[in-house]
Amino acid sequence: MRKPRDLFFGVTMLVLTAASSSLAAAVDEFVIEDVTVIDGTGRTPTANQRVVVRGGKIAEITRTQTPIPTGVSVVDGRGKFLISGMIDAHIHLLGGGAWRDSSAQSNKAIDELVGESTLQGYLYYGFTSVYDAGNNPDFIMGLRARERAGEIIAPRIFATGQLLTYPGSWSVGYAGSAYATGRIHCRISIGRSLSSPIFRRSLMNRWG
């Protein structure tokens, strides 16, 4: 029997990729029966495992065939695989108003619904953490705060926020703030980057 672990698992071909949030929130405890576990350490996949999820976390992985308590939901894992939740380490989440057709500049307004649905899509495909490498800080830091508070169904969000770049760069706009050579220009641009109330709060929470 393995020790309880403080991590989430994603599921391939099993509708449990959002176990860390939606399913776990609705059901305090459930069991995945007879599933093949791939733990991501390089060890051989282990078949016919019983995985107990309690309070949104993996509580037990075992081969035991003891009776399951009455009232506990059971997911049939036969022929399916359970893998560690994946991490997308470089995204620019849609909805921040930064790009149209992924590259052209845009004045499009922030659309948090687009952001939320895209985040849910990551969960659907087994990604339980994402890193946003540059975005509208009001947009991405706001979503990150809501994710941390448990207000939205989303993978865990890590984010850079505002980018700093050079005049004429493709990322100038919501995602990139340009600065010219020289300390004065750099200070002005950084000041503009930090003008977002949400961005300032995030810095205070992080370094305060």
Q: Could you give the residue range(s) of every CATH 2.30.40.10 domain in the chain?
A: 9-84
Model's pTM, two decimal places?
A: 0.66
Residues of each domain in the chain carrying CATH 3.30.110.90: 86-207
CA 136 – CA 153 distance, rounded (Å): 20
Q: Which CATH number fits domain 9-84: 2.30.30.90, 3.40.50.450, 2.40.100.20, 2.30.40.10?
A: 2.30.40.10
Alpha carbon distance 86, 189 (integer Å)? 35
pLDDT reported for residue 65: 78
pLDDT tens digits, one per residue of 36-49: 999 889 999 999 99
Q: Which of 36, 29, 38, 37 is nearest to 68 (CA)?
A: 29
Strands of the chain, DSSP E: 9-12, 29-38, 46-54, 57-62, 73-76, 81-84, 86-91, 99-100, 104-105, 127-132, 156-159, 163-165, 176-178
Look at residue 45 in the predicted model and tell me its pLDDT.
95
Tokens (6 digits) for 89 = 């380490």
Query: Which tokens go with 42?
Result: 């390089």
In a 13 Å sphere around the CA of 176, the CA atoms on its Cβ side amount to 16
Which CATH architecture best describes the domain 86-207? 2-Layer Sandwich (3.30)
